[in-house]
Amino acid sequence: MLLRQNYTRVFMSIGLFTLIAEVLRRKKKRKKPKKKKDAISKSSSSTTLYLSHTASSTPLWEVDKSGFLPSRPPREAPSDDRFCVLSEIVEMVPTLAMMDDSSSFLDLIRRRESAFKAAVVALIEIREEDELECVHGLYSYLVCGLIKCGVSTIPEYVARGFKMCADRLNRRPMLDYAGCVLYNWALVDPQGPVSVENVRMLRRFTGLIDEEWFFKTHLVLEAAAGDAVMAMKEGLLQLESKNNYVFMIEVLRRIETSIGVVVRDCLPLMFERRGEHGALCDYYFFFHRLRPFMSGCKNVIFCGIDHDTPLTLPGPSGAMSTLLPCLDAFLGVKNSSSKLSKLLADFSKSMPISHRGFLRKISEQSLSIRTLIIQARKYRKSQDTDIVEALATQFERCIDLLLDFRWRHLQMVRKYIVEPSGGDASSVAGTGGTAALEYLHEHIADTEAAKLPSTGESWFLGGGVRRVNTVLISPKPKFTEPETTGEESDELWHVNAENGLLPRRQPVLPSHGFDHLESVVLRLPYLCVGRRLHAVVQSLQFSLEKIKQLNIDELEGLRVRLAFMAAAYQRCDSVACVNPDIPPGDTPLPLHFKEVYDFVADLLDRPKRLCFTDLVICNLRMSPSIYPAEKIQQNKKKANVDSLCPYASMNQDDDYAKEERCAVIPACSFLAVPEEVSLFSILFQTERSSPAIVAAILSSMNNPRKLTESLQSLRMTLRDAALRHDTETTHVARADKSTMRRLRHFLLPAGASDLELASMLYSGDSVLLPIVWRFLGIPKSKAATAELQRVRDALLHNRAVPTAHRNFLRRVSSIRDNVLRICTSTEPLHHLARLEAAYNGCVDELLRLCSRRSQLVCRYLPHFASEFRDIYFEHDRRALLSARLSLLLDRRLNQRRPSNEVRLSFSE
């Protein structure tokens, strides 16, 4: 008995001792984060200053009901004017990065060196976290743009500022998840929620909606997870008191509801499709156009930092979101591989410091909910059994949801990374530079392993080493004149054998007084998708007096820019397609802008909308074959702003650019992707044939031999024009389809049909094909659906075409009757044979060219391809086939005495 009492005392004192030791251990552990937090702020450079939360009493990254989103909407631009240089250049990043010309980019930065230095000084004075976050985001986009252009040494005045900013936030000098998602948005309606309809992203690398949508999906997902985060925060306090199972059931229920929305409603947003837009985040654009900006840096020297030691840092990744690591830690999902743990630890260095603290709190909790359940099952009292099992069931639902998230996510990685990269899963590197699939599969296996052991097995704490063979195949996913009477004074557009339909000089923007306009044009792709274009265009000031003094070259240069800006302004909302319930319509232009646009349009006698001439002919030039080098130089001197031309040397290393012969120099762009320039370039290539075509038409003579020669030369030119299309059809078909989906809203007014777009691609507002058509005298179809013929006929009165072009078209008369008349002449048979061959050769080559254009329509509008081919193009095809001549046969049949009279087909 005494022995029993002694044993009891010993066990009690051991129990008491263990309890005290446990309490002390926990206290120590709880203190640790505080210590670490201090250490972290100290570890920041000596520039680290106390950050007050003056903007609001709440710390920016406080973990609360907004989950891991900032406690107030991000600051859209730094409040200190000394950071303007950053904002200005970041807005040009899409345009500058597209040309992949590091020297132009660096030149631009070098010119603003003193402003960058002033920004570094301003950084030291920052007292608000919001300001620091905003500046960090700007530096990130600037540096990623530079790295994407191949810059491997960041200038000191940029590097120092970025590093200082990163140090003060205790993050790294690289774009991170917070920079592109968490702190990169603005509410459309400030009182509204964070939802796809109500948020726009702030900073961007391209003018693509795909980019917007990619980051927005992450953002909305974080917002939806807010209550799960709050539930974890509250549950964390209760985990201490082991017996509050009912409370923990409620915590898990809230996690399940919230993560259920994330998995079922938010993740599938990535695959969202909307009407003409198709996939809002197209995997082609994601992989080929956005991702190159997000690969972090490899051996990049940040001048003056760490003795110029090259830095290698990961780019932004969803793995830097604190959400999943917190859920893992809270529920008890362990990392089985030390490699994976190290990676996650590295990604966590890119989380806002409060998030890291929150994650650390959960991770250091001695008890995860999984352990709690296992323990409760082990030591259950009979009256708790039901409640513990209810808790276990709720837990399993949460683990299933986590697994669901990871499988669906894996599916996304396959679609957006593995497939576009060629399908070799083993060589795919993650956004953050990881061996992506290995990493993600590990994680799925670890989540599986966190399931509770069935109640039939022996209980063990921290067990769950029940590994599943992760299969590499994921389960099926659950997801536009008056008749000109006089002589042509419009010298710029004078049609002759030297320039054809191209302007004789490159239209330029006047060198003085319009710099502000050029600057907006450079930022157009940036501003198009975001919310700021309206404000920027509204703030533009023009002087009508100055415009009156411009010569025609300058007026055309001005018009191109105004037309691009107007199209972007009117339609950027439908491009951003934020609200599918709002019917598409063009936003009315601000009055003062409209006044200027209309004024310039009237001066040039052109319509008040973007035309083919603006889009292609005046927007591009092909160097140096069309415009000899010295002409370009002269033009550059004339317009110093031209030196700002962003596309002066497009990236010749880009496979796509090479394929598409993108040696074109566009002045304006909507999307800032090579695919867009490539489309303009294809259309421009045909116009380049216009000098030879015009030459052939003008040289058609009144004797059969000369006529034959002209036709032969026309035939060769048409052939060449058609072949140009051939060389440009070798790349990924998806690129064309996706490009048109993004561009069509800018190209035509709201509500335009597929047919209108198709006719634009087929012959545009260009008189080139109609000229040849008319010259060869191809019979016309009168069928109701001969829409393409009607478009050609309408060009005679279409003000979208320069007056000189229309006049030229009017003066071209058919050569066909002359050829037929020769047939009845005394011309020897072999002459007739050659003439017949030359004429029919032209018809054949015209058919070939029209066919190529119809293929172009099919490439860019695949959904309209069969309708266009079978209904509309068919009229042209038949008309051309029926136009072929059989002169020799006719001669034999006619047996008539010929007349020597040969009429002029074209009066010069």
Q: Name the residues that contact ligand HEM, by CB under 6 A.
A: 217-218, 221, 270, 317-319, 321, 324, 406, 409, 412-413, 416-417, 430-434, 436, 439-440, 443
434 vs 798 by CB, closer to ligand HEM: 434
CA distances, 175 to each of 51, 149, 341, 394, 760 (Å): 22, 16, 22, 37, 40
3-state SS record for 426-442: HHCECCCCCEHHHHHHH
Label the pairing between strands 297-302 and 153-154: parallel
Residue with tokens 């034959």: 708
DSSP letter at 500 equals B
Decide whether 277 or 638 has the Cβ nearer to ligand HEM. Answer: 277
State in angstroms the smallest separation of the CB of 211 from ligand HEM: 12
Helix (H, G, I), strand (E, B) or coil at 774: helix
| Minimum separation from the CB atom of position 440 to ligand HEM (A) | 6
Burial class of residue 510 (count of CB atoms within 10 Å of its CB; 0-12, 13-18, 19+): buried
CB-wise, 216 or 799, nearer to ligand HEM?
A: 216
How far apart are CB 104 and ligand HEM at their closest, in Å? 31
If we measure between CA atoms, which residue out of 737, 757, 773, 750 comes closest to residue 863? 737
Instruction: Please report how many Cα atoms fall inside a 13 Å half-sphere around the Cα of residue 642, on the Cβ side.
Output: 23
User: Between 292 and 898, whose beta carbon lies closer to ligand HEM?
Assistant: 292
Closest distance to ligand HEM from the beta carbon of 332 (Å): 15
Question: Which residue's CB is nearer to ligand HEM, number 115 or number 732?
Answer: 732
CB of 579 to ligand HEM, least distance (A): 22
Please name the helix (run of DSSP H) or strand (run of DSSP E) that holds residue 201, with its range, or none.
strand 199-201
Cα 291 to Cα 62, 175, 282, 757, distances in angstroms: 30, 13, 12, 30
d(CA 720, CA 845): 9
Which residues fall within 8 angstroms of residue 606, CB to CB, at 6 or more apart?
559, 613, 799, 800, 802
Pick out the residues of the known binding site for heme b.
409
Written as one string, the DSSP assignment of 12-80 is HHHHHHHHHHHHHHHHHHHHHHHHHHHHHHHHS-TT----B-TT-SS-TT--BTTBTS-SSPPPSS-SS
Relative to beta strand 199-201, strand 185-187 is antiparallel
Q: Which is nearer to ligand HEM, 94 or 432 (CB)?
A: 432
Q: CA-to-CA distance for 834 and 715, rounded, in angstroms? A: 13
Please give the angle made by the CA atoms of 58, 229 and 462, to the nearest 5 degrees.
130
What is the closest distance, in whole angstroms, from the C-beta atom of residue 413 to ligand HEM in the complex? 5
Q: How many residues does the chain have?
A: 908
Read off φ and ψ for residue 311, nearest 5 degrees. Answer: -105, 140
Among 87, 49, 55, 84, smallest CA distance to 170 is for 49
Compare residues 66 and 708 and give the one whose CB is closer to ligand HEM. Answer: 66
Q: Give the separation between CA 194 and CA 858, rounded to whole angstroms.
A: 39
Residue 182 or 577: the one with the smaller Cβ distance to ligand HEM is 182
Smallest distance, ligand HEM to C-beta of residue 607, A:
41
State the burial class of residue 262 (Cβ atoms within 10 Å of its Cβ: 0-12, 13-18, 19+): buried
CB atoms within 10 A of CB 182: 27
Angle formed at CA 217 by CA 279 and CA 322, multiple of 5 degrees: 150
Query: For residue 154, what is the DSSP state?
Result: E
Q: What is the DSSP string of 368-394?
A: -HHHHHHHHHHT--GGGHHHHHHHHHH
When the beta carbons of 148 and 218 are compared against ligand HEM, the nearer one is 218
Q: Which of residues 270 and 644 has its CB atom nearest to ligand HEM in the complex? A: 270
Residues contributing to the annotated binding site:
409
Query: C-beta of 286: minimal distance to ligand HEM in Å?
Result: 6
Of 443 and 505, CB closest to ligand HEM:
443
Radius of gyration of the chain (CA): 34
At its nearest, how many Å lie between ligand HEM and the CB of residue 542? 43
Please list the residues that pair with 622 across neighbouring strands. Answer: 664
CB 420 within 8 A of CB 735: no
Nearer to ligand HEM, 417 or 857 (CB): 417
Distances in Å between the alpha carbon of 456 and those of 14, 171, 459, 468, 531? 32, 47, 9, 19, 59
Which C-beta is closer to ligand HEM: that of 344 or that of 374? 344
Q: 88 burial class (0-12, 13-18, 19+ CB within 10 angstroms)?
A: middle
What's the min distance (Å) between Cβ of 344 and ligand HEM?
8
- Supply the minimum distance, in Å, between the C-beta of residue 745 and ligand HEM: 23
Nearest distance from C-beta of residue 218 to ligand HEM, angstroms: 5
Q: Decide whether 384 or 419 has the Cβ nearer to ligand HEM.
A: 419
| Nearer Cβ to ligand HEM (431/854) | 431
CB 367 within 8 A of CB 242: yes
Residue nearest to ligand HEM as judged by C-beta position = 430
Nearest approach in angstroms of CB 520 to ligand HEM is 32
Distance, in Å, from the CA atom of 440 to the CA atom of 406, rounded to the nearest integer, reads 8
